[in-house]
Structure 1
C-alpha cells in the first residue's frame, strides 16, 4: 500500500510539472499545485539554455553582469539559487538589485550564491548594502556585489549614496574596484529605480554629476532603470561621453506568452563612461520559448544583462 501511494505521488508530480512547462496545457489544473511543483523543480530546458549562452571576445577583458533578481530572499529555493550561480559564474563582477531587506533571508541568499560560485573553480567575495533609506519598509531593498578575487580587488567599503537618499526611493550602491592585472581602478553604481509610472527620470537625472563627485572618468552605472536608453534623461550622460551597453534590447518577461513573444520592456542596462572600452554586451535569454516562461519567472521577471570591456589606462 505504501509503495502504491508513493508511486502515485511521483506520477502526479511529474504530470503537474509537465503541465507547468507545456504551453499547450489546459488551464484546469490547480495553479497552486503547479506553483508548488514548479518551485521544487525547474524546467530542464531553461537549465540547458544556459550552456554556451555567452562567448566573450577576450580572456583579458572584464565581464560585468547586472541582474534584478526579483524578491531575492526566502522565496528562492536551492534549485533556483543554483540556477542563478550557473547563470553568472563566467563573469568577473555581479551587480544584483532587489535583494529583500525586510528579512535576513535576503542577505543569506546572496551569501548562498557566493558559496555556490566558490564551488565552481574560482574564489569569490561579496558585499551587501544596508537596506535603502526608502519611504517604507516595503519599498526598501538591498543591493549586492559579488566578484572574482583573482580578477578584482575592492577598494574601501561600498556605500549607499546618502546624498541622494532624500531624492531617490532606493539610493544607489557605489563601489570602487581595482583590476589586479593592471592596477587600474574604476567605480560602479548599482541602482534600482522607482516604478516606470512614477517618473524614474527624476532620480536618474542626478547621475550626470557622478563623474565630478567621484573624480573619475572610469565609471559604470548598472541596474534596472525602469525606462529605456532612448529617454531624454540620459542626454546629460551621453554629452559627457557615456554610452549604453544595450540598444533596443528587451530585458523583462511578460506574465503570459503568445506566439513566442515573452519579452516586454527595455529597462535594464549598463551605462559606461568614455574610459571604458566596449567589447561586447547582451541579454542572457535562457527562456527562448513560451514553454519555458513559467519556470523562468520563478527566477525573476528580469533577465541578466552584461558588458564585456577593457579600461583605458
Structure 2
C-alpha cells in the first residue's frame, strides 16, 4: 500500500471518529427520549385506557403539547405518537400558528400513528382570531378511522371569537358503528391570572346551541374543576372526568414531586355519555425523567374512556 493511500485512510478514520463523538450527546438523548414511553396510567378508577369494552367504548385523550411545531424533533413526535396510539380520538392544544411547522407536526404525528397498526385521520384548525400572533394558536383532532368518523368540517367557534382569546375548535363526530353524533369542544383558555372563567362561562350554552346531549369539553382550562364557574355547567348535567388530578409539570422536582396544577380535564354531559374510566397519563414516572419529559410538554395527557 502506498503512502498516499495510508494517509487518506488515516484521515478518513479521524473524520469518522470525530463525527461519532460530536453526535454522541444528541444520539444518547434521542435514545433516552424514546425510552420515556410510560408503562402505566394514573387513573381515577381501576380500569386502564385499553378497557375490555374497547370495541364499544370511546377512548379520548386531551393534551396540551407545549409549543407543538418546530421545537419537536422526529424522535419526540414518534414518542408522542406512541403515547397516543391506544386512544380513539385525540384533542390537541397549543399547536403553533405563526409557523406552518405547527400543522406539519400534527401531520407527522398522524403519519407515525399510521405506521403503528391502525389508520388515522386528522384535522388542524385555522389560527385562532387572537389579539396578537403570539397568543394565537391552532388546535388539532386526530382519530382512529376504524372507531370514529368526523361528520363536519370542524371549525373554530366564531360566536366566541370576541369572548375568548383563543376561540374553541368544534368537531362533530360519530362512532363508526353508528349511534347518535357527539361533539368535542377543544379549548385552551387564557392564563389563570387573566380570569379564564370569563371565557368558560359561555360554555353553558353549548347544549342548546348544538342541540345535543352528547358534548365533551376537552382542553387546558387554566383552572381546576372546583372553581365556581363550573357550577353553571354542573347544574345542566356536565361532569368532570378528573378530580383532584394534577396535570402540569414543575420545572424541577422537589421532594419527589414533579406535578403542579390541576387544570387539564375533559368535561362531559352525563345524560348522553357514561364514564368507564378516566385519568392522566404519567409521562414522567420519576424525578429522573422530568427533564426529558418536558421536551414533549409541560402538561400530562388526560383521558376519558366512555360509552355514548
Fold similarity call, TM over 0.5: yes
| Correspondent of 1:114 among 99, 110, 117 | 110
- Within a 5 Å distance, the mapping from 1:210-289 to structure 2 comes to 210-274=206-270, 275-289=272-286
Where do 5+ consecutive residues of structure 2 fail to align? 1-10, 43-47
Residue of structure 1 equivalent to 2:65: 69
Residue of structure 2 equivalent to 1:309: 306
Is it true that 1:158 corresponds to 2:154 in the alignment?
yes
Residue of structure 1 equivalent to 2:33: 43
Distance 1:173 1:55, change over 3 A: closer
Query: What is the deviation of 1:210?
Result: 0.5
Greater Cα offset, 55-64 or 133-142: 55-64
**Distance across 2 between alignment mates of 1:13 and 1:150:** 41
Query: What is the deviation of 1:259?
Result: 2.2
TM-score calculated relative to the size of structure 1: 0.87
Q: Is the 1:39–1:77 contact (alpha carbons within 8 Å) kept by the matching residues of 2? A: no
Residue of structure 2 equivalent to 1:31: none
Count of aligned pairs between the two proteins? 290
Q: Secondary structure at the match of 2:283?
A: coil
Query: What is the deviation of 1:119?
Result: 1.0
TM-score calculated relative to the size of structure 2: 0.89
- Kindly report the root-mean-square deviation, in angstroms, between the aligned alpha carbons of the 2 structures: 1.9
Q: Is the 2:49–2:305 contact (alpha carbons within 8 Å) kept by the matching residues of 1? A: no
**Distance across 2 between alignment mates of 1:124 and 1:165:** 29
**Distance across 2 between alignment mates of 1:87 and 1:207:** 29
Q: Is the 2:49–2:59 contact (alpha carbons within 8 Å) kept by the matching residues of 1? A: no
Q: Is the 1:42–1:80 contact (alpha carbons within 8 Å) kept by the matching residues of 2? A: no
Query: What is the deviation of 1:152?
Result: 1.1
Residue of structure 2 equivalent to 1:56: 50
- Within a 5 Å distance, the mapping from 1:129-144 to structure 2 comes to 129-144=125-140
Residue of structure 2 equivalent to 1:297: 294
- Within a 5 Å distance, the mapping from 1:68-217 to structure 2 comes to 68-217=64-213
**Distance across 1 between alignment mates of 2:63 and 2:41:** 19
Q: Secondary structure at the match of 2:190?
A: coil
Q: Is the 2:40–2:282 contact (alpha carbons within 8 Å) kept by the matching residues of 1? A: no
**Distance across 2 between alignment mates of 1:233 and 1:52:** 29
Query: What is the deviation of 1:7?
Result: 4.5
Where do 5+ consecutive residues of structure 1 fail to align? 18-35
Moved over 6 A (4+): 36-39
Q: Secondary structure at the match of 2:202?
A: helix
Q: What do the CA deviations read for 1:144-186 (whole angstroms, capped 9, x no partner)?
A: 0010111111112111001110110000000100112133210
